[in-house]
Each structure stands twice: as C-alpha cells, then as structure tokens.
Chains A and B, each alone.
Chain A
Amino acid sequence: MAFSSPGRCSVGFERKLAAWKKAGLLTEEQAAAIARHEESQAAGTRWLVWGIAAVGGLAIAVGIISVIAANWDNIPDKLKLAACGALLLGSLGGAWRTSSLKNLWPRDLFLLLHCGMVPATIGLIAQVYHLSGHPWRAFALCAAFALPAAVVAKQGLLTDVFIGFLTVALGLLMSEYHWFANLFDSGDLRELFVYAAFGLVLLLGASAIRGAHPGASAAARRWGIGLLAATAVSANAIWATTYSRSLGPPGPVLLWPLAIFVAAAAALGVQLWWTDAPALRPRLAAIALLTLLLCGALIGRAQESNQLLRQFVGFGLFAGLCIAVAMAAAESGNKLGTNLATLALAIRVFVFYLELARNLMTTGLGLIVTGFVCLAIAYAWWRLRRTLPAAARTGGVS
C-alpha cells in the first residue's frame, strides 16, 4: 500500500516497512494497517493553511497596534484608560467563557493576555498622570496579579510569567540600593546570595507542588536551576578575578544574604534526604559544591598573590559541580540536563585555558587538571553505564 501523495518522508517510511516485513517483524496485514494509520494522520496542506492564517492574524494585530501608536497623542486620555480597562477585564471575561472547554489552551492564552495587560495598565496610568517611582514596585505588582493566573492555569507558562516578574522585581529592588555596583570587584556577592537563595526556594517549591500542579512545578524547577546556574557562573568569574585596589579595600560582608542562602541550601538538602529523592548523593554533592563555590569566592579576594590558587580552586569547584549535576541528571534519566552540564564543563575548560595561558608552567598545570577532569568524567560515565538500567540511559524520563 502506498501513500496518496508520496513525498521523501513517506518513501522512507515505506522502505522501513518493507525492511521490517522482510526481517519478519511485521506481517503483511500489520504493515498495511500501519500505512493506513499514517495516511489518515498525514498533515498534508493543513499546516500550510494554519501558517498562512497565523501570519494573517499577526499582520492584522501588528497593523492595529501601529495605527494606534501613530495616533497615540490624539487619543483622549480617558479613552485610553477606558480601552485599557476594557481589555484588562475582557481578557478575564474570555478566560471565564473558555474555562469550561475541554481544551484549556484558549483559557490560558486569555490569562496570559491579562498578565500582559497589567503592566500595560500600570504604564498607561503612570503616563497619563506623570507618575514616577521605583520600577521594582511595578514588577512586584505585576507578579502579585500574575499569581492567581498561575494558580488557575494548567500550563506552566503562566508560572514562568509570575516567576519572571518576581525575578526582575528582585533585581530592580537590589539595583535601587546599588547592590549590583562592583559585582566583579569589591562587592560581597550579596546579590548572588539572594538570587541563589531564591533559586533554591523555587526548587523547594517545585517539589512541594509537583503533585498538585505539574506544569507550575516544572516551571519553578526551570527557573530554580536557571538562577542557580547563573549565580554559579557569576561566582566562577569572581574566583578568577582579584579586586582592584583603586576602589579601596572590600567592606565588611553583609551576613544576612549569606545566611539565607546557607539556610535555603540546608533546607533543600534535608528535603531531598527526607523524601529519599532519586540520585540523592550527586544532588547533595551538587548543593555542597555550589555552597562552597559561592561562599569560598569571598575568601582571599584582597590578596593578589593568591590569584593562581584561586583560579585553580574555583575551576575545580565548578568542574565538580558540573559533574555532580550531570550525574544527578543522568541517574534521573534526564538527558537534556546531562548534556547541558557536560556542555557547561566543556566551555569552562576552554575559558580556563584563556585565563591561564600565560606561561609554560600554568599551561602545564592546566593540562594536568584538565586530564584529571576528563578521567573523572570517563569514570563517572563508566559507573553510570554499569549501574543504570538501559531504559534510564536511553529514555527521556525527567
């Protein structure tokens, strides 16, 4: 049996069917049934029509926005406010109307529109009444309004929006107090500790809501791991640099961000141990290495003579963290996590060469360390291959 409009894919599929029949894996009837099923599922020109319709809809939306923007100053303020309010409430009305449908994507898209209309409304009111203020408040307000939508929505996308608003608000709040000034120089990493603690809290929350809201749990996990990765990379940059004396000696370390980070790391460790999570040992090792990477970056920053030692220790801690994360991901059957951690390690090795390639001594030491790291990776891979079942290695169960 052949497809009605054979293309390159269908020809390839027919070849595979013929090969499977020849190998005795399929009977003639089974092959015919599979071919009929695939033919009925063939997309044909449907995607092309959907694509044209999507481009048309997008063109109309952008066109309407452009026409409004061109005449923005001619529109009375009251009309702007009324239209904005109507769109704000209309998005919720749309979510209400579609909340009884079997497919909940339309409802979640209306909720996403509402999440976008909240900052638009805040911006419009600020423009009409010439208000100014600290921007973190606007983002915190958006996060507060996005939270109910994230709770209601089935998709994790709304949780992404909520956490995104919260992350930006946190950054702007710290920026208001100039916490980001001299991040890679004489700072005490307070902003990194706050963001890392936030990432750990998200991971704690992800585990807590996994049963009730899998989509939100996945989103919290994405953001938690992303924030921790960002802080680990920033801390690694600090290990590789010394502070500049032109800015004066580093001030006293602000202890409470450090304390909340250590407390959050301890809480996550206890939770993993209490729930007997899969890949427990590499996960606990990753938490310990992250703590050492962040807290250790504060030690000896004022002494330039320690720079080489700091570079090696920082590299070693980051490499160990990548290996622990790769092993935890592999033991959990998460291929993407394993690949990303391995990629991060490869990039770090390359950057390490750039940092050290100044003389034969440092290049030689770099080569020795890299050799040990490669042997450690090979050993870890060998151990995993021996201990893990085949399904976990080849599957994508996360």
Chain B
Amino acid sequence: MSATLTKRVLLALALVDLVFFGGWVVREETLRRGGPIHLPIEGYDPRDLLSGHYVRFQLVAVREATNIIDPRRNVSPQTFCIERRDGLYHVKGVRSGDASSCSPFLRATYDDRGHWDFGVDRFYVDERLANEARWVQPSPNTYLVAVVDGDGAIHPIDLVVNGNSFASQKTSR
C-alpha cells in the first residue's frame, strides 16, 4: 500500500475515532441532563471481584416486572410504566398503546435466565468507599439515581446508600 493511501486510511480512522468516541461521550453527557428519578435496588452484595470496583446490584423493578409478566413466557422486549411511591419509582404495570399512556416508563429485554434485563446492574465506586457498600442492606434510603430517556433506557448518575451519595463523596474527597 502506498504512503499516500496509507495516510488517507489513517486520516479516515482518526475521523471515525473522533466522531464515534466523541459522539458517544457527548451523547452520555446529554442524556444525563434530564430530570433524575430514584429507583430502589437490592441484592448488590457481594461485589464482583472480576469487575474491579463495580458494585453489582439488581433493580427492584426486575422483581416487580416479573410479578406482572413472566419473562420466560414473553421473549420480546417489553415496556413498563413506573410510578412514584414514597419518593422512589416502582413498576406499576405494562405500558400499552402510545407514549401518552404512561410516563416515565422503562424498557426491558428478556435475558434468557428468567429475568427482565433493564440494562443496568453495576455502578463504579471509589475503592476507598468500597467497604461502605459491602455492609449495606436494602432500605428506603438506598437507591439508584438515574435519568430515563425517551426510549425507556436507564442512565445511572449516582448510587445512594443509606442516604449517602457515592458520587458526591467521590468529588468531595
């Protein structure tokens, strides 16, 4: 391959890098500017050792959605209406019809293990704060702060454990 053609390929690759990764970062930043909601979580202990300092958890919405529809009998993606109860958002029922039927709503897919998958199951935690996450039990003050976009996808912003925000603790240190 000639040097000129090589340089053209390199230039195109640099542009693709810039557009793809730059666009990805811009998209994630933009999506997190919406109004946040609080989603209760449970079962996030033990942490996955292979994931570094990720805290793994399960949204309460997974259990609530399973009680409404058994995912093993419904292999297509499903959307669920959520409503606010005591400051936290819970699954109310299956979303049907157009966008005006309920808002906000969450989109879930079937994960082949009998669970609804809302696309969120981990949160990166500063290693100096990791021990605090280890001993926490689910409670009304333990939840995920996230933004839900127009497609029902969840974008995590913060993890609050017993009323303490991991994101603010990280920035204050």
- Assess whether B99 is interfacial by the CB under 8 Å rule: no
A332 to B21, CA, bound (A): 46
Within 8 A of B (CB), among A95-126: 95-96, 99-100, 107, 114, 121, 125
- Assess whether B121 is interfacial by the CB under 8 Å rule: yes
**Contact yes or no, A130 B112, CB < 8 A:** no
The residue from A92, A129, A131 contacting B10, defined by CB atoms under 8 A apart: A92
**Contact yes or no, B10 A125, CB < 8 A:** no
- Assess whether A398 is interfacial by the CB under 8 Å rule: no
Q: Which chain A residues lie closer than 8 Å to B90 at the CB level? A: none
A130 to B55, CA, bound (A): 10
**Contact yes or no, B22 A85, CB < 8 A:** yes
**Contact yes or no, B12 A73, CB < 8 A:** no
**Contact yes or no, B9 A89, CB < 8 A:** no
- Assess whether B68 is interfacial by the CB under 8 Å rule: no
A99 to B3, CA, bound (A): 6
- Assess whether B170 is interfacial by the CB under 8 Å rule: yes
A127 to B122, CA, bound (A): 10
**Contact yes or no, A73 B9, CB < 8 A:** no
Partner-binding segment picked from A32-40, A147-155, A364-372: A147-155
**Contact yes or no, B124 A88, CB < 8 A:** no
Of all chain A residues, the one with the shortest Cβ separation from B154 is A130
**Contact yes or no, A73 B121, CB < 8 A:** no
Q: Which chain B residues lie closer than 8 Å to A151 at the CB level? A: 1, 9
Within 8 A of A (CB), among B23-40: 24-25, 28, 32
- Assess whether B6 is interfacial by the CB under 8 Å rule: yes
The residue from B10, B156, B170 contacting A96, defined by CB atoms under 8 A apart: B10
**Contact yes or no, A132 B121, CB < 8 A:** yes
A100 to B34, CA, bound (A): 49
- Assess whether B126 is interfacial by the CB under 8 Å rule: yes
- Assess whether A281 is interfacial by the CB under 8 Å rule: no
Q: Which chain A residues lie closer than 8 Å to B173 at the CB level? A: 73-74
The residue from A95, A99, A130, A178 contacting B156, defined by CB atoms under 8 A apart: A130
Of all chain B residues, the one with the shortest Cβ separation from A117 is B17
Q: Which chain A residues lie closer than 8 Å to B12 at the CB level? A: 148
Which of B1, B3, B13 has the most chain A CB atoms inside 10 A of its CB?
B13
- Assess whether B69 is interfacial by the CB under 8 Å rule: no
**Contact yes or no, A177 B10, CB < 8 A:** no
A121 to B17, CA, bound (A): 10
The residue from B21, B25, B123 contacting A130, defined by CB atoms under 8 A apart: B123
Of all chain B residues, the one with the shortest Cβ separation from A88 is B17
Q: Which chain B residues lie closer than 8 Å to A114 at the CB level? A: 13
**Contact yes or no, A152 B9, CB < 8 A:** yes
Of all chain A residues, the one with the shortest Cβ separation from B127 is A73
Question: Using a Cβ cutoff of 8 Å, how many contacts connect chains A and B?
Answer: 69
- Assess whether A81 is interfacial by the CB under 8 Å rule: yes
A73-B127, A73-B128, A100-B3 known; A148 vs B25 contact (CB < 8 Å) = no
**Contact yes or no, B170 A73, CB < 8 A:** yes
* Chain B residues within 8 Å of chain A by Cβ, number: 33
Q: Which chain B residues lie closer than 8 Å to A89 at the CB level? A: 14, 17-18
A73-B170, A96-B10, A127-B124 known; A132 vs B119 contact (CB < 8 Å) = yes
Q: Which chain A residues lie closer than 8 Å to B17 at the CB level? A: 88-89, 92, 145
- Assess whether B7 is interfacial by the CB under 8 Å rule: yes
**Contact yes or no, B18 A125, CB < 8 A:** no
- Assess whether B136 is interfacial by the CB under 8 Å rule: no
A178 to B156, CA, bound (A): 28
A192 to B156, CA, bound (A): 38
A127 to B121, CA, bound (A): 13
A74 to B16, CA, bound (A): 30
Q: Which chain B residues lie closer than 8 Å to A95 at the CB level? A: 10
Q: Which chain A residues lie closer than 8 Å to B7 at the CB level? A: 96, 99
**Contact yes or no, A92 B14, CB < 8 A:** yes
The residue from B1, B6, B18, B120 contacting A132, defined by CB atoms under 8 A apart: B120
A385 to B120, CA, bound (A): 64
Contact with A along B101-134 (1 / 0, CB 8 A): 0000000000010000001111110111000000
Of all chain B residues, the one with the shortest Cβ separation from A177 is B112
A92-B14, A99-B7 known; A133 vs B21 contact (CB < 8 Å) = no
**Contact yes or no, A85 B21, CB < 8 A:** yes
Which of B16, B17, B18 has the most chain A CB atoms inside 10 A of its CB?
B17
Which of A73, A145, A149 has the most chain B CB atoms inside 10 A of its CB?
A73
Q: Which chain A residues lie closer than 8 Å to B170 at the CB level? A: 73
Q: Which chain A residues lie closer than 8 Å to B95 at the CB level? A: none
The residue from B9, B24, B126, B156 contacting A148, defined by CB atoms under 8 A apart: B9
Known: A99-B7, A131-B28; 8 extra A-B contacts, CB below 8 A, are A74-B173, A85-B21, A89-B14, A127-B124, A128-B124, A130-B123, A145-B16, A148-B12
Residues of chain B at the chain A interface (Cβ within 8 Å): 1, 3, 6-7, 9-14, 16-18, 21-22, 24-25, 28, 32, 112, 119-124, 126-128, 155-156, 170, 173
9 smallest beta-carbon distances between A and B, as pairs: A130-B156, A129-B28, A73-B126, A92-B14, A148-B13, A132-B122, A99-B6, A127-B124, A152-B9
- 19 pairs across A/B with beta carbons < 8 Å? A73-B170, A88-B17, A89-B17, A93-B14, A96-B11, A99-B6, A127-B124, A129-B32, A130-B120, A130-B124, A132-B119, A132-B120, A145-B16, A145-B17, A148-B13, A152-B1, A152-B10, A176-B112, A178-B112
